[in-house]
Amino acid sequence: MQDQPEAPDDPGDSEPKSPGQPVGTRALASALPPLLTAPMTVERPPRASGGPAAALVGLDDTLRKPGLVRGLRLLRALNQERGFVCPGCAWPTPDHRARFELCESGARAVADEADSRRAGDRSFAAYTIPELARRSDHWLAGQGRLTTPMIRRADQNGYQPIDWDAALALVGTALATLPAPDRAVFYSSARIANEPAFCLQLLARAIGTNNLASSSQLCHEASRVALRGLLGDERACVSLADFDRAEAIFLFGCNPGSNHPRMLAALRAAKRRGARIVAINPLREASLLRSRRATDLFDGGLEIADLLLPVYVGGDLATIIGIAKVVVEADAVDREFVAAHTRGLASFEAALARWSWTDVCERSGLDEAAIRAAADIYIRSNATIACWGVGLTQHHDGVTTVEQLIDLLLLRGNLGKPGAGPLALLGHSNTRGCWTMAVEPRLDPATRERLAAATGLSIPTEPGLDVVGAIAAMHRGEVDVFGSLGGNLLAAGPDTEQVAAALRRCKLTVHVATKLNRAHLITGETALLLPCLARSEDDRGRWLSFEDMTGTVRASTGRAPPARATLRSEVEIITAIGAITAPDALDWAGLGRDYDRIRELIAAALPGCEGFAAQLGRARSLRLPAPESIGVATLVPPPAPGPVRSDGEFLLTTVRSHDQHNSTIYKQGDRERGIDGYRRVVLMNLADIRRLGIEPFDQVDLTSSFGDHERLARKWVVVPHHIPAGMLAAYWPEANALVPTGHVDPRSGTPAYKSVPVTVRPSG
């Protein structure tokens, strides 16, 4: 195993072509001989998001990957009633949907999975695993769809083909012969459909473990904990129709132009009706300023945010508390609602009073007038929606921050009425579905009992491991088998080096995947790579289902011919393993053959899911029951003000570029932030660049310290950007080498990816 290289913190072609050379702006680059400069350009970020460029890029990817004719046929089936659900994000589809809705992000995600290239046995035969690991993420995905089961045996350094039966027997037997059930860990990406998600947790529980790590724990677990704690149910949220009624919409920590582009249609419509929009974001994102439709050829687009608050990274808690202060001071609390539906106003107000305006301003990075302006919009609105992305949740106080935002909504009665309420902008297209399907390490007792009664499984009461817990346990050598259904834990998890070491300590690592990624190249003693059907592909007429961020489940039928006839579905793979591991536990073969049987079991086993049995198939959609009445929520008092950042320390936030889908890098660069050709950049305020005595486009080294461990990542190109002084932004996965695994929100287990304290030094 020594032959495997360390997981690089700067994979492959994101390295400057001539490391150490200064990287210039377009002007500078053109003045120098081409060989001396990396092919990077930086321009003023666009003044509006979207427009014809978005449509062209979507079409270009379609042309290059599946081919235009096949690609366009797929795009026509996207989010249509008899078609398949978009893999891009979890934004809801309107009931009266357009025949064709062009979304750049959706088109690129579909093009990527419908790639006509194939990573067949020959691609693997040509490279050892260390050679593959030296390639960039972009190159790995560019090998195309995985089509053959592959194995890396303990004494080999390459992947070789293995037949399906032998591969499945190897996993099934390894799971059946574990010394203890908790020595297996399952990770899944919340992109997988309900049916495989449900089967995966059945497999874990049939073995006798709750070790169900999920990408949702890296994403919106804080939203879930806060919504459940305060409102009793994470399903309490607005629906698409509420966007037609809202008078004000607050957008915290999200970048809809890149990550939820279809949301911009709802925001534009609300804006045209006269709704006011407030965006809270350290970066001046193009899509928060203006949005253009693909057909807006000569039009500058529609203004989105009436007010943009350039908050400090991690400064949202103080901002929300500042707005709440104004609501209370102005006597704008909805007394009737608060008396009927909340408890604890007196202790809430007492804790709020402990925050002075100096406390608020120092921690939010905003001046009092800016916060008062946001509060004024909030107070004037009779119906407000608050949306938030992972800019709000991926902090050490993620749950506390979301709680304060829900409190703020409750103070003015913004719950349970049209046009008002909370909305967590869930990212992966089935994040909510994975929650509903009980893919979680900690089941509430009622769900556990019902699941056990319906399936006959005896489910352990001990909570299992979440992502961060699983990485630590693997690192300690306490895990033998790591199974991953989709996803890329190596790139997505915090502290890349530690995840790599953790994976290497397993006896067997198994990935069920559509495309090659870096997690497949850092292996346990033995490693299996099992290719599967993608959701856009025909699964012999069978259909799957996905739940959007507002709680509507939709049926999804793949249309394209499979990348290879012998490919198996995720459900078939999991149930075949179940049949070997725990043959008597369930009728695995029946579940694997007939997905209606899975849905009948879901209906019987999971609270609120009764409609899965018949209604979903009949109507192709199902609205899961949200709480019927708003009940009585206990307001959570704001915490005491925390410490302020120390001098000389920067706070780094890690974000997506416009040209990536999580760990899949479509292109080097970030069109919506004006950067082309390069990703290893750190966005910095010009005043900080001057203060450090460096020049724009110089290279710097970043160091993060946590506990007694220092993490160093070298050579980041400094790009001046609209970001508050003292704050930095960089792209992940490159920056994950700097995110300490211990730096998590203890209440949700979410890594604090978006507030990593770092120091900056010019690269030597």
Which residues in 482-511 contact ligand MGD (CB under 6 A)?
485-489, 492
Q: Which of 16, 83, 391, 724: binder of ligand MGD (CB under 6 A)?
A: 391
Terminal Cα distance for the chain, rounded: 33
Tell me the closest approach of the beta carbon of residue 89 to Mo ion, in angstroms: 9
| Residue 549 engages ligand MGD in binding (rule: CB under 6 A) | no
Q: Which stretch binds ligand MGD (CB under 6 A): 11-19, 343-351, 499-507, 730-738?
A: 730-738
**What minimum distance in Å lies between the beta carbon of 215 and Mo ion?**
6
Q: Interface with Mo ion includes 87 (CB under 5 A)? A: no
Residue found by looking up tokens 């509006």 in the block: 48
Q: Counting beta carbons within 10 angstroms of the beta carbon of residue 256, is it exposed (0 to 12), middle (13 to 18) or buried (19 or more)?
A: buried
Dihedral angle computed from the Cα positions of residues 595, 598, 600 and 603, in that order, rounded to the nearest 10 degrees: -130
Q: Does 655 bind ligand MGD (CB under 6 A)?
A: yes
Tokens describing residue 458: 């005896």
Kindly state whether residue 430 participates in binding ligand MGD, applying the rule CB under 6 A. Answer: no
Mark 225-245 as b/e (b = at least 16 C-beta within 10 Å).
Answer: bbbebbbebbbbbbbbebbeb
Query: Is 578:202 a contact under the CB 8 Å cutoff?
Result: yes
From residue 601 to residue 630, what is the string marking binding to ligand MGD with x (rule CB under 6 A)?
A: ------------------------------
Token pair 């979903």 in the structure block, residue? 616
Closest to ligand MGD by CB, 11 or 413: 11
The answer to whether residue 532 forms part of the interface with ligand MGD (CB under 6 A) is yes
CA–CA gap between residue 51 and residue 55 (Å, rounded) = 7
Question: Nearest-CA neighbor of 500 among 516, 523, 482, 484?
Answer: 523
Q: How far is the CB of 163 from ligand MGD (least distance, A)?
A: 20
| Residue among 205 and 220 whose Cβ is closer to Mo ion | 220
Binding residue (CB under 6 A) for ligand MGD from 115, 242, 247, 316: 316
Choosing from 16, 196, 427, 637, the residue that interacts with Mo ion (CB under 5 A) is 427
Which C-beta is closer to ligand MGD: that of 352 or that of 738?
A: 738
Q: Does 669 bind Mo ion (CB under 5 A)?
A: no
Q: Do 203 and 186 contact (CB within 8 A), yes or no?
A: yes
In b/e form, how buried is each residue of 266-286, taking b as 16+ CB within 10 angstroms? Answer: bbbebbeeebbbbbbbbbbbb
Q: Name which position in 753, 757, 758, 760 contacts ligand MGD (CB under 6 A).
A: 753
Task: Choose between 427 and 486: whose C-beta lies nearer to Mo ion.
Answer: 427
Name residues contacting Mo ion, limited to 531-590 (CB under 5 A).
none
Interface of this chain with ligand MGD, residues 231 to 270, rule: CB under 6 A: 252-255, 258-259
Instruction: For the chain, give the number of residues.
Output: 764
User: How crowded is the C-beta side of 222, counted as CA atoms within 13 Å?
Assistant: 30
Work out how close the CB of 314 gets to ligand MGD at its nearest, in angstroms, rounded to a whole number. 5
Q: Helices 368-380 and 357-364 meet at what angle, rounded to 10?
A: 100
Q: Within the chain, how many helices (H) and strands (E) appear?
A: 30, 33
> For residues 314 and 740, which CB has a smaller minimum distance to ligand MGD in the complex?
314
d(CA 713, CA 716): 8
How far apart CA 317 and CA 102 sit, in angstroms, is: 36
Distance CA 749, CA 212 (A): 13
CB 38 within 8 A of CB 17: yes
Q: Which is nearer to ligand MGD, 348 or 388 (CB)?
A: 388
219 binds Mo ion (CB under 5 A): yes
**Candidate list 313, 411, 438, 580; residue touching ligand MGD; CB under 6 A:** 313
**Which parts of this chain interact with ligand MGD (CB under 6 A)?**
88-89, 105, 113, 189, 191-192, 215, 218-219, 252-255, 258-259, 280-283, 285, 311, 313-314, 316, 389-392, 394, 425, 427-428, 485-489, 492, 512-515, 517, 532, 534-535, 570, 653-656, 660-664, 732, 735-736, 739, 753-754
Q: Binding residues for Mo ion, per CB under 5 A?
A: 219, 427
